[in-house]
Amino acid sequence: MPDLAVPPAPPVPLRSLLAREDLALRRIAGPDDPTTVVHGVHTSELADPCPYLLGGELLLTAGVHIPAAGSGYLDDYVSGIVAAGGAALGFGVAPVHDTVPRALVEACATHGLPLLEVPPRTTFSGVARAVWQLMSEARTAELRRVTEAQQSLAAAASRPDPVPSVLRQLARRLGGWAVLYGPEGAEIARAGRRPGAGTGSALSGLVEVVRPADGGPGGPPRPASATDTVSGTHLATYALGAGPGFVLGVAAPERVPGDHTIASVAAVLLSLLTGEQQSGTGAARSSALVRLLLGAPPEEVAPLLGGQRWVVVHARPNQDGAPDAGAASALGAALGSALVDPVGDVVRVLVPADRAPAPLPGWTLGVSAAVDPPDWPAADTQAARALARARATRAPLLRHGPRPALADLIPPDEAAAHARTLLAPVTAHPALTETLRTWLSLHGSWDRTAVALSVHRNTVRQRIARCATLLETDLDDPDVRMELWFALRRI
């Protein structure tokens, strides 16, 4: 059979077409093979339609071209369709023929071509429409399956054990086995049901088809992927570009549309993961975190993280609900940093100062001033306040931007002492202090303060009234508000 020049749409199993009750098609000759598929529909009354077949079609005819006698013609007609790669023949009963010619039935049985009887009430255009509908449904199902697999693989890549997690998810999605081979050909990690005897060694042999000859990027060019079938098991290997000599191998009992796309997504993720290990970025980050945990000062470990001055970003998704690990990782990637910490409904990201954050669709961001590593805690507080103000004012991004002010003319020690004395009645109640700070920063707006603090506006009113009572002052007085604001900035 010649190579089929088939369209990219998924083929339709012939059995699915026969199962359509609205068509009432009936197979009357030829094999009942569950693997027979249809790639398209073609209608022709030509004596020789073969030059117009691409392969894989269901050929429909009413038999206008069939002579009254001459079984030799029908034998040549059917054998030509088989040679051209036709998938099946549909014969329309009436108006030309009352029944399917016996010689045609015998010819299809001889040459192994499925022959379908098309009843008078079923139009050829109806058959063609049904095929396109089945193709569309198959395509939609394939896209849904691929999309769900992409999301699950991305989530797996963000787990603490990303490589085994991606392999487990890939094996589950393909219903088979997934294995990562290292530069020397050894299995680094695997997941799923191990294939039967003989297929494992065949997969190892297929690995060498895509691996560069010297285990690195040099040497003769090799294909990016390779496939084979051994004992009914479908095998495939994918070279991981970022990790020198790393190869992904998969084995599945069957290969369905979308498998290659899903495996390719996994290969890209594993390329990034193995590439990070090889480049030392991941090792440097781990080293920095270990040193911090063991008591090293932040300024000592900061160079390992890739920057000298930093900004802290607090981000919150615009939709309700806490962001998952995948969304947090995607946010870090968009900001150019892998130092991501999701805490509740807020994601904190430590970003080198030279990568100025920009507004991101779907997120509200609060950004600190650029600081040296010892000032990371202060920057964290700045980012939190900037986020609260951004949410209250419905701005996509707000930055903390200190500038010279009158308060800077007062010696810091004296200002701090005055602030402690003035605010002593409320500082014992953190909720009151934060509410007062937010309320003053938003010019006394009850609604915006409630949004910023995620509380009811009546709660804000009650807290502010309590502050006024404890401080024994009139919070409607602008001079009082100004003095309290200065004091709050000193504690």
- Does residue 363 sit in the same domain as residue 429? no
Q: How many structural domains comprise the chain? A: 4
- Does residue 17 sit in the same domain as residue 103? yes
Does pLDDT of 3 surpass 60?
A: no
Q: Is 128 contained in some domain?
A: yes
For the domain that residue 471 is a member of, what is the CATH number? 1.10.10.2840
Q: What is the pLDDT of residue 228?
A: 86
- Does residue 114 sit in the same domain as residue 91? yes
Q: Is 150 contained in some domain?
A: no
Q: Is 127 contained in some domain?
A: yes
Among 39-53, 90-104, 400-414, the range scoring the smallest mean pLDDT is: 400-414
The stretch 157-174 carries a mean pLDDT of 84
- Does residue 381 sit in the same domain as residue 470? no
- Does residue 390 sit in the same domain as residue 411? no
pLDDT category, 13, cuts 50, 70, 90?
A: very high
Antiparallel, parallel or unpaired: β 88-92 and 115-118:
parallel
SS3 46: coil
The stretch 233-262 carries a mean pLDDT of 82
Q: Is 78 contained in some domain?
A: yes
For 313-353, write each residue's pLDDT tens digit: 999 988 777 777 667 766 776 777 778 888 888 999 888 88
- Whether pTM exceeds 0.75: no
- Does residue 181 sit in the same domain as residue 92? no
Q: Read off the amino acid at residue 471.
A: L
Residues 6+ apart with CB under 8 A from 252: 174, 175, 176, 177, 233, 234, 259
Q: Is 290 contained in some domain?
A: no
For residues 246-256, one letter each, b for 16 or more C-beta atoms within 10 angstroms of the residue's C-beta and e for the rest, the string is bbbbbbbeebe
Q: Is 71 contained in some domain?
A: yes
- Does residue 435 sit in the same domain as residue 476? yes
Instruction: Please say which residue of 378, 399, 420 terminates a domain.
Output: 399
Structure tokens at 437: 């700070």
- Domain range for 129 is 12-133
The stretch 389-408 carries a mean pLDDT of 74
- Does residue 335 sit in the same domain as residue 271? no
Dihedral sign for Cα atoms in the order 17, 19, 22, 24 = positive
- Does residue 478 sit in the same domain as residue 437? yes
Residue 292 Cα to chain centre, angstroms: 33
Which long-range CB contacts under 8 A does 330-339 form with residues at least 24 apart? 330/154, 331/360, 331/363, 334/360, 335/360, 338/285, 339/285, 339/305
Among 66-80, 192-206, 388-402, the range scoring the smallest mean pLDDT is: 192-206
Sequential DSSP letters for 235-279: EEEEE-SSSTT-EEEEEES---TTHHHHHHHHHHHHHHHHHHHHH
- Does residue 384 sit in the same domain as residue 412? no
CB 44 within 8 A of CB 59: yes
Mean pLDDT, rounded, of the chain: 83
For the domain that residue 184 is a member of, what is the CATH number? 3.30.450.30
